[in-house]
Amino acid sequence: MAPRSWDDEDETPTATGAVAEARALQELRAIYRQADAAYAPFSCPASGECCQLSKTQRQPWLWYPEWKLLESRRPLPPPREDGGCPYLDASGKRCSVYADRPFGCRTFFCERIRGPSRQPADTVDALLRRLEAVSQRVLPSLSGPRPLLDWHAEALSRTTVTVAPLQEAKTQS
């Protein structure tokens, strides 16, 4: 029997709900490991400059499983007053979700990357297509990735809407 490729059509029924999300997160972690391996020869100055989103006017775009991983494993941080990534630590220099950081953060969209003269563009492209396929299996209605801050703002608005009635009920009792 020939080994299967990640893009072979799966003949098993499509999983739904929590099972589908769990499978997507598992595959996302595999994609992240492969991206990390592809970028092992490169280094980052770890200045946190690329995480200053309002200054750089750039931010990572996340597929649904990437956002679910960030959202599900820790409390949602408030927006930063300095316009930096909400997942930066208080010093503004270190990622508080480094192990779960998005694909775009793993693949150094920073101009200060150091390493071989050519980045692994073919590998990145293949991994991005795989990430898109994983996302489409879980959330077919999502037509593309979304900016990190859009996901974050939407999640904060849901939290505010959910928490407000609970706080109101507590003050009335």
Q: In this structure, are residues 47 and 112 in contact, taking their beta carbons and an 8 Å threshold?
A: yes
Asked whether residue 122 is assigned to any structural domain, the reply reads yes
Asked whether residue 161 is assigned to any structural domain, the reply reads no
Spatial separation of the C-alpha atoms in residues 79 and 32, rounded to whole Å: 25
Strands (E), the chain: 61-62, 146-147
- Give the N- to C-terminal CA distance of the chain in Å, as an integer: 66
Q: pLDDT (tens digit, 9 = 90+) per residue, 18-54?
A: 899 999 999 999 999 999 999 999 888 888 888 999 9
Asked whether residue 39 is assigned to any structural domain, the reply reads yes
The pLDDT score that the predictor gives to residue 161 is 59
Please, what is the Cα angle at 110 between 107 and 115, to 5 degrees?
A: 70
Considering only residues 116 and 26, tell me which one the structure prediction assigns the higher pLDDT: 26
Judged against a pLDDT cut of 70, whether residue 163 lies above it is answered with: no
Query: How many domains does one find in the chain?
Result: 1
Answer left, alpha or beta for residue 58, where phi above 0 means left and psi between -120 and 50 means alpha: beta
The pLDDT score that the predictor gives to residue 173 is 52
DSSP 88-108: B-TTSSSBTTGGG--HHHHTT
Asked whether residue 121 is assigned to any structural domain, the reply reads yes
Judged against a pLDDT cut of 80, whether residue 110 lies above it is answered with: no
The pLDDT score that the predictor gives to residue 86 is 96
Q: What is the mean pLDDT of residues 112-126?
A: 89
Asked whether residue 3 is assigned to any structural domain, the reply reads no
Q: pLDDT (tens digit, 9 = 90+) per residue, 51-76?
A: 999 998 999 999 999 999 999 888 99
Look at 19-33, 95-109, 131-145, 156-170 and tell me which has the smallest mean pLDDT: 156-170
The pLDDT score that the predictor gives to residue 109 is 65
The pLDDT score that the predictor gives to residue 11 is 41
The pLDDT score that the predictor gives to residue 136 is 96
Asked whether residue 8 is assigned to any structural domain, the reply reads no
Asked whether residue 171 is assigned to any structural domain, the reply reads no
Asked whether residue 90 is assigned to any structural domain, the reply reads yes
For residue 103, the enclosing domain spans: 17-152
